[in-house]
Structure 1
Amino acid sequence: MKDERRVPRRRFREFLNDGEWEQHKLRDVLSLLKDGTHGTYKDVRNGVYLLSAKNIKNGCVNIDESDRKISFKDYERIHTNFKLKVGDILMTIVGTIGDTAILSRIDKLTFQRSVAFLRPTRELNNIFLKYTIETKYFQKELDNRKTISAQPGIYLGEIEQIGVKITGKINEQQKIGEYFNSLDRIINLNQHKLEKLKALKKAYLTQMFPSDGECKPKLRFAGFNEEWKDYKVKDICGISTGMSNTQDKIVDGMYPFYVRSPIIERSNKYLYDEEAVLTVGDGVGTGKVFHYVNGKYDLHQRVYRMFGFDKGVLGRYFYHYFSNHFYDRVMAMTAKTSVDSVRLEMISDMNIIAPSIEEQNKIANFLDRLNNFIDIQQRKIEKLQAIKKSYLNEMFI
């Protein structure tokens, strides 16, 4: 009986009748499998970059001027018995396991043992192999074979034993590889656009709110000149926490349930029906301001709500100001304690500086629109990533 798993669910039209893919151990389709240097070296100012797993991200080798450099003499010692080649696949094998990149330059760089080098034989396209490694199957194999100590890691002997299914048609390999390469380029372009939008927002926030000790911002809408007023948070809104627990969430609940993360859960009850700004009281997101809400919602007992904005400060303006300032305040105030958590007075005694209601409204509208652009761009990236994930499962075996 034909093994259906030897043919991918989705295939380019011209290869539909080209038969089944071949099963191999990874070692049988590689001419090189080696990890980076295990040695210790003296840092130098001018030399060769000694990179590690942290430099492999989003399918690229990311180099910063602050990265370590070693001498050319040490570099020559490392590569006495083998040389890196353009087109070699880099794979992280310590810490974060299974991230990949294709080496596009070999001058003035090498890697520590947290990165493995995979060089396919001439019968296997390197880009095709890179995306084979990214499949759910291969990533699961890496996860099952890793060792856990101070940092997760995987031995080369385990990697070479992993089974891979590949098409014997090199032109089919190339077409699949190029398809995913093109998809990654689109994702990266959109990621850069998102980063630019976030940087633009950060710049505007710096310019549109007064610096410490000042009463006017550097950048204002035309027609506004008066100094801003200083308030305490406790004087402009109410402050309390929710009363629900994480186990109160219902998958298809009627109301949004805000917990200690950016993720919005659901609940079949609501505690409040109001305009509010929410901040995390403890845990990983302590002091982060993830949500502005206006309507019915449920709330976790360790999430603070600021509500009842009717004393000269708009809720939407408060959200943008508070989001930009509160986290740094919390980190500064908890730096000397062993447990990060928000205390009521951290919120209530915080100063908020604000202009007239009319100017607040213009600022809030502008930043709302900018946030909307960012959200749209983020959703676009998530959709592209979902397409890639789905096609990886369908176009590989």
Structure 2
Amino acid sequence: MGKSLSLLKDGTHGSYENVQQGAWLLSAKNIINNRVVITSNDRKISESDFKKIHDKFQLRKGDVLLTIVGTIGRSAILKEANKLTFQRSVAYLRPDENILTSSNFLFSLSKSSNFQNQLKKRTVISAQPGIYLSDIDKLNITIPELKEEQDKIASIIITIDGILSLQQRKLEQLKQLKKAMLQQIFVSKNSKQPVLRFENFDSDWRQHSLEDISAKTYSGLTGKSKDDFGHGKARYITYLNVHNNEVAVSDGVEQIEVDSKQNKVLKGDLLFTISSEVPSEVALNSVWSSEAGTDTYLNSFCFGIRPKSNYVNSFFLTYYLRSPQMRKLIYPLAQGISRFNISKRSILALKINTPVLPEQISIYKVLMHIDNLITHQQNKLTQLTTLKKYLLQKLFI
């Protein structure tokens, strides 16, 4: 590796005082998603300290940055070299122009599975994982002799990275849209009308306890041992399915034998977790959306509510109970030290506000549409990530 570089050096090992005006002193944490990310919270050092660091060498636009302490192997191409430097957690790699055509190829090479695997093997595990510059110098790399081939390979990987970045931004924007909708489309604690409202709806939301609008409550599986799981013609909804999804997914189930003593889960039932490692995650809820057919039960660490359909729409309710306003009311009810629990009684006593049924349906439909868009964009991101991994395996030896 070292023979292909004109510069291989790590960032400063020194200690410096922070200043308000000066040069940025960055670290490995600033190398994010193939870019150098600087925020107002990052450190600055004095101009005199900066000049001492770079007395004998200067960073250049196009230098490849590689994280070598902590999370090993993240990389980026330096786009702007003015008044910034790095701590020792970042290495500087500058391609030898007689061997490597560009920083783009070197950057693409740093993403390959061969390069990353060699870094992993040479990483020293101590208080913080790290890799020595001397070990980076010894990495075995294979470079096409034809510079045209290097350029083509780099162009493909850089293009894929650009598409991935765009896809990640699309996904993040949709998640932010959903977060904003959840904050504004439901009423706050002391309000009877939300900030954001659909046309033709103007009546006050009415308050109920969760128990008032529940036709039935039931517990999860009981009387089971480990030998009862993994086989049978029935199924049960897993804890993670409830924990992770506002609308439980049909493939988040596992096999179990049919048992007439267990409570069946029906379409529209609300499901709640009753235990978690952190209080902010107790009583996370989900709604079961599958039609009746195979006998379906609930795992033993959750319980279910069957809402009265003439009062409330279950899909509206699952989004409402996951809104920031409701989560702030729920998680203080958790009790415990190393693991936190919440009683069914506490959940049923929760006061909720609901609009008329047609407005409930409008609300859940728009939120579900955003969720479908998020899923679609996440799937596209996964496919692109898989494609990039395949190309990195095939284009580099």
User: TM-score under structure 2 normalisation?
Assistant: 0.83
The change in CA–CA distance for 1:283 and 1:107 in structure 2 (over 3 A counts) is same
Indicate the residue corresponding to 2:359 in structure 1: 359
Q: Distance in 1 between matches of 2:113 and 2:226?
A: 30
User: 1:239 touches 1:348 (CA, 8 Å); kept in 2?
Assistant: no
2:155 is matched with which residue?
178
The 5 Å alignment of 1:76-115 reads 76-115=51-90
Q: Is the 8 A contact 1:246 1:300 kept in 2?
A: no
Letter in 1 for 2:126: S
Give 2:307's aligned amino acid: F
Partner of 1:9: none
What is the CA distance between 1:249 and its match in structure 2? 7.8
Contact 1:56/1:99 (8 A) holds in 2: yes
Cα distance, 1:148 vs. partner?
Answer: 2.1
1:150 to 105, 127, 142: 127
How far apart in 1 are the matches of 2:25 and 2:380?
A: 35
Query: For 1:308, what is the secondary structure of its paired residue?
Result: strand
Contiguous gaps of at least 5 residues in structure 1? 1-25
Matched residues, percent identical? 35
Instruction: For residues 255-276 of structure 1, give each alpha carbon's deviation from its aligned partner in whole angstroms, at most 9, with x where no partner exists.
Output: 5753436496552238743234
What SS does structure 1 have at the residue aligned with 2:48?
Answer: helix
Aligned to 1:215: 192
Q: 1:229 to 1:306 in 2, by over 3 A?
A: farther
1:195 matches 2:172: yes
Q: 1:250–1:265: structure 2 CA closer, same or farther, 3 Å change rule?
A: farther
State whether residues 220 and 297 of structure 2, in contact with CA within 8 Å, keep that contact through their aligned partners in structure 1. Answer: no
The residue type equivalent to 2:44 in the other structure is K
> How far off its partner does 1:362 sit?
1.0
CA distance in structure 1 between the aligned counterparts of 2:381 and 2:333, rounded to whole angstroms: 36
1:178 is aligned with what amino acid?
A: S
The one of 1, 6, 27 equivalent to 1:52 is 27
Give the TM-score normalised by structure 1.
Answer: 0.83
- Partner Cα distance (1:119, 1:242) in 2: 61
Of 189, 206, 231, 2:208 maps to 231
Coordinate RMSD, CA, aligned: 3.0
CA distance in 1 between counterparts of 2:346 and 2:128 reads: 36
CA deviation map 1:254-309 (0-9, x unaligned): 9575343649655223874323445553247934848543236565443x344312
Alignment deviations for residues 12-37 of structure 1 (CA, whole Å, 9 cap, x no partner): xxxxxxxxxxxxxx122122121111
Any idea what SS the aligned residue of 1:273 has?
coil
Instruction: Name 1:273's counterpart in structure 2.
Output: 265
Q: What is the rounded CA distance, in whole Å, between the counterparts of 1:184 and 1:137 in structure 2? A: 18
Matching residue of 1:23: none
User: How far 1:98 sits from its partner (Å)?
Assistant: 0.8
Task: Summarize the Cα distance change of 1:363–1:176 in structure 2 as closer, same or farther, 3 Å threshold.
Answer: same
Structure 1 counterpart of 2:308: 310
Q: 1:157, CA displacement in angstroms?
A: 2.0
Residues 277, 145 of structure 1: alpha-carbon distance in 2 compared, 3 angstrom cutoff: farther
The count of corresponding residues between Structure 1 and Structure 2 is 369
CA contact (8 A) 1:48 1:110 kept: yes
